[in-house]
Amino acid sequence: MNELEYYDKVNDFCNINDFEVIKNNWRQCFKFILKRFNVGFTDKTINSLFDDFEMDNWSDLHIENTKYKDCNKEELYDEFEFEIGYCSDRMSYDRLFRIHWLFKRWEKM
């Protein structure tokens, strides 16, 4: 994926209704971002972070301790979509993992 394809995918999240397409596109964006940090993330490591990402022991990220506690599935997706667009051109690990945390919560609903 190149930068133009990345931004096309970021801007397309609002037009997608199929979970598998959303998940696949987010996986590609997630991978692109981590590869851009250029610190040696392998595909295996990236896939593990994407699929096995759990921060349940981090009490601040329990959904009941966040502004998202009363969100339904659609509202949570809207928050995920907003965060992707907002952070897309100024990504950091913190922002990436916050977005992925939203994705994983949405996926579980």
Domain interval for residue 26: 3-108
DSSP structure string for 38-101: TS---HHHHHHHHHH---TT-GGGSGGGSTTTT--HHHHHHHHHHHHHHHTTS--HHHHHHHHH
**pTM of the entire predicted model:** 0.85
Domain count, the chain: 1
Per-residue pLDDT tens for 71-95?
A: 999 999 999 999 999 999 999 998 9
pLDDT tens digits for range 5-38: 999 999 999 999 999 999 999 999 999 999 998 8
